[in-house]
Structure 1
Amino acid sequence: MRTDNDNSAPYRPSSGLYNDVTRAPCYKTKMAATLPVEVIAHVMRFLSVGDRKASALVNRQWYEASLDPALQTNTVFHLLTPFTSGSTVQKFGLRKSPNLILNDMDGSSRSKEVVKKACQHLGQHLQSLSLKGSDITEGTFMVIIPHCCNLRKLDLSLCNSLFLSGNLLRKPNDFQAAEKSLVNVRELNLGSLRHLSDCVFNRLVTVMPNVEKLSLSGCTISYEFSPYDKESKTRASTSVLTFVNIKAFLERQGKKLTSLNLSKTGLPGSSLRELAMVSGLAIRELNIAGNRDLNDDDILALVKQQNGLTSLDVAMCGELTSQTVLHIQTYVPQIQYLNFSKCRRMRDSAASKLYTLPDLQYINFAECPQISSKALVSGLSSKPMLHLASVCLAHCTLVRDEFVETLGKAVPHLKELDLTSCLAITDRSMHAIAAFLPELKRLSVAWCKNVTDYGILGLEKPSEEVGSSRLCELNGGRFSRNFGTIGFFSPPSAADMTVCKITQEEALVVLAQHDAGKPTGLQHLARLRVLDLSTCQQLSDLGITCAIRFRELVCLRLNMCTGVTDQSLVAIATNVPSLEELSISQCHQVTDDGVTKVVKRLQRLTFLDISCNDKLTNCTLASISQYCHCLQKLDVSLCSQMSHDALDKLQCHLPHLVSLQSRLV
């Protein structure tokens, strides 16, 4: 069993309480014990989930404060039924968490009993229940449902065993029990179900008459059911899910339904037009991603009829062109969410008029290679974009530094920026991001190979002439402040002779500015929580040591950063205390000593990727086994020095490890 923060949870500042409390003097511990529970619970509202979990370990009083229902609103319980005991489940009632995910559930009597107890203790507080991917049976499902009278969200995606027989809710007693318990459900997810039929679908939506959000993503839908049977349009199928039946449901539920997900269902254009014209239907959120047959005229017919749309996802619809964007601008200017990922026929005209969408919050042009910087500058800076919070331009190879600089000045409140594989991005962009986007929480510059230490540190890179005259100062000297001693690098290799590296003196200046409260470079992004620097091969230990100093960073990816050594890992372990996800795949200089220091210090790690590192041995696995008690996912693929016996021991010591990737070990 584990708890996670919900994706929609608001950002909360943290003080690194875990590290401070464990070293607190005795009098401070006594003072903490005398605080009223109500005061402690109020303080915990301002902590991140990781700090809140750590603070609950201070003493019994702090643990009780952490159970305050107000703190459980955005907490999700992942219950791994094969590894959960009855005594653990009995304590669920104290937490009163409204969100529960049941994983790895099978048809065994033990799983059935654990699930029953969990729903008994959480049932009256439960508002969201996910059975995604579980091998749940109809009997177990009917044991769970009567205890969940206040459910508002139900996820049955990938539960193919539940729908295999086609008899779900067929018995009158089961139907009545479900009708009584599920009347408050507002969100229903039936995605990726191979055996969903019209009859079962109709029973489900009948017992949940107030559904507002429906997902049928990845379901097999028959658009021409029994073409030789004239009565097929009025009869529900017992074997397949038909478009005619879905349309009939929309005609009944149209006034209540606000969100519909038909992605990856092979939806043809004619069917989309029929749905758009359903009387009374007023969809606000529509996902039709992955339906490759849709064209611009289909989208035009949609937006003309459904002019209340605020969210539209048409990713991977390869026939759509820039004309689609013009239709959206004309008929639904109030749109807030747009996803055109992998719509490769999009051109500059699709981006140059974005300023006509004043309420736009999220825009995704990933893998639209014909979108240029000039068009993006025009689209996002011609008028103030007051609500824009997220921009994704991954694999847009025509994006240049000029756009990033303009974006930073035009949208200073941006929260998320993805520039993955924007190969023309250089240190100028990094300087602009650090200077103009202080509220940024997620940043990806993976595969931007022109980003160097000077970029992430906010320093001006010297000219090539100066750089060639300073080769003797290459990397200055390996140093570590507050966590090690100063040493020196070996002479530069031939591959390094064309790269001007930061010197020790420049790095000391950056650290001095950080200590003075005037950080430069990436350090200026104090709210950053996710950072991806994968394949930025010009980064070195000095750059990472001085720039990666975030108290709130949760996820860090340094895959294929060949300049990363144990010194970088030691610095990360010291300067990023809240880290929960770390990826250092193909960092070939990393050794057992560096990884050991990381896992010893960062005991909140839930995800660790150390694959393709030949210098790592069984000693690394022993350290992980000893210190990573919260670890849920581990990737050690292609680590040739590790053995299967050591992996078996690791799994015995970490029973809550959900995923272990060990290919070719």
Structure 2
Amino acid sequence: MAAVLPVEVIAHVMRFLSVGDRKAAALVNRQWYEASLDPALQTNTVFHLLTPFTTGSTVQSFGLRKSPHLILNDMDGSSKSKEVVQKACQHLGQHLQSLSLKGSDITEATFMVIVPHCCNLRKLDLSSCNSLFLSGNLLRKAEDLKSAEKSLVNVRELNLASLRHLSDCVFNRLVGVMPNVEKLSLSGCTVSYEFNPYAKGSQTRASTSVLTFINIKAFLEQQGKKLASLDLSKTALPGSSLRELATVPGLAIRELNIAGNRDLTDDDILRLVKRQTSLTSLNVSMCGELTSETVLHIQTYVPQMQYLNFSKCRRMRDSAASKLYTLPGLRYINFAECPQISSKALIAGLSSKPMPYLTSVCLAHCTLVRDEFVEALGKSVPHLQELDLTSCLAITDRSVHAIAAFLPELKRLSLAWCKNVTDYGILGLEKPEEVGDEGRLCELTGGRFSRNFGTIGFFSPPSAAEVSVCKITQEEALAVLAQQDAGMPSGLQRLAGLRVLDLSTCQQLSDLGITCAIRFRELVCLRLNMCTGLTDRSLVSIATNVPSLEELSISQCHQVTDDGVTKVVKRLQRLTFLDVSCNDRLTNHTLASIGQHCRCLQKLDVSLCSQMSHDALDKLQYRLPHLVSLQSRLVL
């Protein structure tokens, strides 16, 4: 039947598939491959070319797809890299809308080979391309400047993050040939206030050696009406500079990232939101001096806020969360590592009134979060798509039941380090009374200070009853499977659209529970690190019932053997990331199986696998030349 369908019909069907599913469907036959070349299917397709391992003929074949997105990595001054770049420009250049050269050792000459072919470019990423800016002569020649002005006029997004050698002069030449830039990132760049405060007139001259805030401010005064997004994170921006930025005439930023600038205070944020009333996204993570007053200022002056990130702002208290309902358009909220935020405040802020647009909540390491909040959140925000409860140590099976019952649209779920989650929670079963939750919150009531140091001698160790693993029986597992076969899923199985699941260090999960619960057709990322109950049986079930998996982490799962990993890599042909580190039972046989079956693998971690050898690793790298990252610490 598939062979006789018209190409147009097949292409229409592919529009409803994910990128991974489309790649698999394109391998059916030549007709399906031709259907996958439909330009309408290329809008979310990204070509990632590692220039040392890519041939010109390969790039030429990619030109048939007319993909608008291209990433070029590991470029150097070799003739092969130049050939790949030239071919990429010839066959993909006219269709490109997004080009990333992040981290490449690209030269000015190679960059000027690329630029003339990219006339429709809208997004350019030059982050970490330090070799390109080392000499300070980029676009200094008149002919280069003229060519760039003609080709880069349509660029809307420019990423100049993590550049050590960016100077005022080069920055001015770059933004001068891109007059329509709307999003600018200078994250991680070293920014001085002015390059020579003692020289007369230094505030009006551009530096040839450093990037100055005075120069950035001058750019904002010229481009302010067009600029919608600005990223100044990790630039050591002082509060005085932020106040100056807020008062630039005509500037109306909608997205601002000032994360990691630790000297910022509540008063600085007040000055900002008073002047920049069009803000809809603000990231102030890792700004340790900010308190709950910042949230109150935001609620007062920018009630249209949609994205807020307060992660690692440890001075935030309950008042920061209790009135979040005054931001009715809120879509994303992040209070990760804000240990003083309680469930009571979160219930008042997120569950007391309707939050119709809220889709993502991150409360990682908020140890005061309880089951009551998760239940209230599920009932009041049923359209939630992302929920991160990593290291919320008081979370139990009640929360897992609420998530499964009330959040059917969830796509990302993290319950890592929630050590009180058991098989009964992920399978949607009621726990028998004799193995109830009493005495199980050992991380909170057993005198343990951290996940690493236990009781360190101040308190008596937990009793055997406190640390015993609560496992389901064979009869209960068979009943769950029968219910699933009858079309009545329970537990996490009700989250049919789940794509990312993290159950790392949920050590009360058993082999039987994992086998019955993890059966998701669309799941692409699964993390089961330190799940000590995981065995080869679990891996065989995952390989069979999670066919779309692309990322798998099973670090410190000491019962896993070569046989289990071999069966996984044979079945899961889409794997791009695999972490099997810290396992003394894995040998060179695992590496041989990975080299034979994982043709798409890009990242592999086998650190602390003492039974593996460097010779086997060398053979693996030879068989998988596209392997971007291989972690092999302490492999003998």
TM range (shorter): over 0.9
* Counterpart check, 1:628 vs 2:611: no
1:597 aligns with 2:567: yes
- Greater than 4 Å deviation, 4+ residue runs: 465-468, 493-497
Q: Give 2:163's aligned residue.
A: 193
Q: Secondary structure at the match of 1:345?
A: coil
Deviation at 1:466, TM superposition (A): 8.9
- After TM superposition, the structure 1 = structure 2 runs for residues 69-468 of structure 1, keeping only pairs within 5 Å, are 69-464=39-434
Task: Map 1:580-591 to 2 at 5 A.
Answer: 580-591=550-561
Q: Secondary structure at the match of 1:506?
A: helix
Residue 464 of structure 1: how far off its partner (Å) = 2.2
Residue matched to 2:448 = none
Gaps of 5+ in 1: 1-30, 469-492
1:657 aligns with 2:627: yes
- Work out the CA distance in 2 between the residues paired with 1:584 and 1:498: 22
Deviation at 1:112, TM superposition (A): 1.0
CA shift, 1:53, in A, is 0.5
SS at match of 1:122: helix
Q: Give the distance between the partners of 1:465 and 1:644, measured in 2 at CA.
A: 47
* Structure 2 contact 388–413 (Cα < 8 Å) conserved: yes
**Structure 1 residues 335, 494: closer, same or farther in 2, change over 3 A?**
closer
Deviates more, 1:173-182 or 1:504-513: 504-513
Pairs within 5 Å for 1:466-481: none
SS at match of 2:201: helix
Which residue in the other structure is 2:456 paired with?
A: none
- CA–CA separation in structure 2 for the residues paired with 1:168 and 1:436: 55
Work out the CA distance in 2 between the residues paired with 1:645 and 1:235: 57
Write the letter of the residue equivalent to 1:298: D
Q: Percent identity?
A: 88
Match of 1:20 in 2: none
- Report the number of matched residues: 611
The aligned counterpart of 2:27 is 57
Shift in CA distance, 465/431, structure 1 to aligned 2, threshold 3 Å: closer
Return the letter of the residue paired with 2:82. Answer: K
Counterpart Cα distance in 2 of 1:120 and 1:286:
36
Deviations 1:37-82 (A, max 9, x none): 1111111111111111011111111111101100000011101000
Secondary structure at the aligned position of 1:645 is classed as helix
Which of 503, 506, 513 does residue 533 from structure 1 map onto?
503
Distance 1:643 1:500 in 2: 38
- State the TM-score, normalizing by the size of structure 1: 0.91
Q: Which residue of 1 aligns with 2:441?
A: none
Once the two structures are TM-superposed, the CA of residue 495 in structure 1 deviates from its matched residue by 8.4
Aligned equivalents of 2:62 and 2:145: distance in 1?
28
How far, CA to CA, are the matches of 2:374 and 2:301 in structure 1? 29
Distance 1:322 1:286 in 2: 19
Note the C-alpha offset of 1:108.
1.1
Amino acid at match of 2:428: G
Q: Deviations over 1:350-374 (max 9, x none)?
A: 0000000000000000000000000
Deviations 1:329-387 (A, max 9, x none): 00000000000000000000000000000000000000000000000000001210000
Summarize deviations over 1:518-539 as a string: whole Å, max 9, x none: 1000000000000000000000
1:570 is matched with 540
State the 1:513 CA deviation. Answer: 1.2
Aligned mates of 1:263, 1:416 — CA distance in 2: 24
Residue number among 462, 466, 471 corresponding to 1:501 in the alignment: 471
Shift, 1:230, TM fit? 2.1
1:655 shift after superposition: 1.1
The one-letter amino acid of 1:141's match is: F
The answer to whether the 8 A contact 2:435-2:470 is kept is no
Would you say the 8 A contact 1:254–1:281 is kept in 2?
yes
CA distance in 1, matches of 2:388, 2:556: 22
C-alpha distance in 1 between matches for 2:290 and 2:338: 11
Report the Cα distance in structure 2 between the residues aligned to 1:498 and 1:125, rounded to whole angstroms.
59
1:426-461 CA-to-partner distances (Å, cap 9, x unmatched) read: 000000000000000000000000000000000011
1:606 to 576, 584, 592: 576
| Cα displacement string for residues 561-601 of structure 1 (whole angstroms, at most 9, x for unaligned residues) | 00001110011011101101000000000001111111111
Query: Counterpart of 1:557?
Result: 527
- Residues 465 and 216 (structure 1), Cα distance of their counterparts in 2 relative to 1, 3 Å cut: closer
2:329–2:356 Cα contact (<8 Å) kept = yes
Find the aligned partners of 1:498 and 1:95 in 2 and give their Cα distance. 56
Task: Quote the offset at 1:500 in angstroms.
Answer: 3.1
- Structure 1 distance, partners of 2:91, 2:514, is 47
How far is 1:92 from its partner?
2.2
Q: Helix, strand or coil for the counterpart of 2:418?
A: coil
Instruction: Check whether the contact 1:467–1:500 (CA below 8 A) recurs between aligned residues.
Output: no
CA distance in 2, matches of 1:386, 1:394: 23
* C-alpha distance in 2 between matches for 1:497 and 1:208: 61
In the alignment, which residue of structure 2 is the partner of 1:34?
4
DSSP-derived class of the 1:91 partner? helix
Structure 1 residue 496, shift from structure 2 partner: 9.6
Determine helix, strand or coil for the equivalent of 1:514.
helix
Q: 1:643 is matched with which residue? A: 613
User: How far has the Cα of 1:465 moved from its partner?
Assistant: 6.6
Q: CA deviation at 1:614?
A: 0.5
- State the Cα distance separating 1:497 from its structure 2 match: 8.2
Residue 224 of structure 1, CA deviation: 3.8
Which residue number in structure 1 is paired with residue 451 of structure 2? none
**TM-aligned CA distance change 1:589 to 1:233, over 3 Å:** same
Which AA in structure 1 matches 2:78?
A: S
Structure 1 vs Structure 2 CA RMSD: 1.4
Q: Residues 128 and 152 of structure 1 are in contact (CA less than 8 Å); yes or no, is this contact kept in structure 2? A: yes
Q: How far apart, in 1, do the equivalents of 2:435 and 2:360 lie?
A: 39
Q: What secondary structure does 2:46 align onto? A: strand
Give the 3 Å change call, closer, same or farther, for CA 463–243 of structure 1 in structure 2: same
